[in-house]
């Protein structure tokens, strides 16, 4: 049967009706409403006020975190020649620090105040003071600054010996000129003695909390609002970054020495060390008739300085150091840290393997010579 072309079908009528409805009333299924409304989802229930541990921790420490501005005067070798500028130029720097005593004692990094002729300290509440560097220790990168004030807010100090990987870590400071910046992460590792190169004397705390230039000298705190470290170094890689902090127990120890004597004291035994691997041991044994090393991982004495505490104590080249004091050691940095935990002039037991013999030597560390 042929359909009558002059009579629209029922399906055609329905489609036409739908199109007219869509044109007249907006989107299909919509009945009026505000055309500027972005969402019609029902409002969610209001959040109940509660305790945020990061906010609480920052509230405890934040008022005591300061910005440190420095001015360094440097000699311009081309000063006055051929339009080379003035003979003395000023360089400005910025870092962070935190108040540990209400009378104005501040901990920061040595590299923040190194060579500074002027030091300015600014609190989060806007107060500014002229600071004086009481002392700085480039070995551990700890410095103490003092301002003339009283009744200042103080950052509580924790116990870095109790810090464990996986705990919360919160950094406060002034990175990239942005004051009072808070970042959070976790403790990624502890006792990173090789974090910024071999031969370090600092068992760093490693964290993934974002730390940038300007954070140096600021506090790393735990979830209880206690300072557990002094932010000091970063290692950057594509897509990732690691930061390291001086454990506050070490920072407290160095600061106490600076407050008492104006400088820090470091024991010294006078050796040059090398990390040992089985491959290196095989190569040494094959080429050096005087040195027979066990094919293992460890730390070997490469050189003993003449007249040094190590020489007087009987330590020799090719000795494999196994223990310093009560600490087992596996690399040169661990030896440095263990020696640094001793005291100048007091006996320090060093266990070594020499050939097939195991020896216990008694060394008396001397004061590490100061570098100009």
Active site residues: 111, 141, 216
Handedness of CA 261, 263, 266, 271 (dihedral sign): negative
Taking Cα atoms as reference points, which of 224, 230, 225 lies closest to residue 207?
Answer: 230
CB neighbourhood size of 78 (10 A): 10
Which residue shows structure tokens 């001793």?
342
């Amino acid at each position: 049967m042929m359909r009558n072309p002059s009579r629209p079908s029922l399906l055609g009528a329905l489609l036409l009706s739908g199109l007219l409805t869509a044109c007249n009333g907006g989107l299909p299924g919509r009945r009026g409403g505000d055309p500027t409304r972005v969402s019609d989802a029902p409002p969610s229930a209001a959040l109940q006020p509660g305790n945020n541990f990061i906010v609480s921790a920052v509230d405890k420490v934040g008022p005591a975190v300061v910005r440190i501005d420095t001015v360094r005067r440097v000699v311009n070798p081309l000063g006055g020649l051929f339009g080379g500028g003035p003979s003395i130029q000023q360089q400005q720097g910025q870092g962070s620090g935190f108040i540990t005593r209400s009378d104005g004692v501040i901990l920061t990094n040595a590299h923040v105040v190194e060579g500074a002729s002027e030091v300015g300290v600014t609190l989060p509440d806007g107060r500014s003071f002229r600071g004086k560097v009481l002392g700085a220790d480039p070995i551990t990168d700890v410095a103490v600054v003092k301002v003339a004030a009283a009744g200042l807010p103080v950052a509580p100090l924790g116990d870095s010996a109790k810090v464990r990987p996986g705990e919360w870590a919160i950094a406060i400071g002034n990175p990239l000129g942005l004051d009072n910046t808070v970042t959070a992460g976790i403790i990624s590792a502890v006792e990173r003695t090789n974090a910024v190169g071999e031969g370090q004397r600092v068992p760093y705390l490693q964290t993934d909390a974002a730390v940038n230039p300007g954070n140096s000298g600021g506090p790393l705190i735990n979830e209880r609002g206690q300072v557990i470290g002094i932010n000091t170094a970063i290692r950057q890689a594509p897509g990732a970054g690691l930061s390291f902090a001086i454990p506050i127990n070490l920072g407290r120890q160095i600061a106490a020495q600076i407050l008492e004597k104006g400088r820090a004291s470091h024991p010294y035994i006078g050796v040059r060390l090398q990390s040992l691997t089985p491959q290196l041991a095989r190569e040494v044994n094959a080429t050096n008739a005087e040195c027979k090393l066990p094919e293992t991982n460890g730390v070997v004495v490469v050189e003993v300085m003449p007249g040094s505490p190590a020489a007087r104590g009987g330590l020799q080249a090719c000795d494999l150091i196994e223990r310093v004091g009560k600490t087992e050691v596996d690399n040169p940095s661990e030896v440095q840290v263990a020696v640094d935990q001793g005291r100048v002039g007091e006996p320090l037991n060093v266990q070594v393997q020499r050939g097939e013999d195991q020896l216990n030597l008694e060394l008396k560390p001397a004061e590490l010579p100061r570098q100009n």
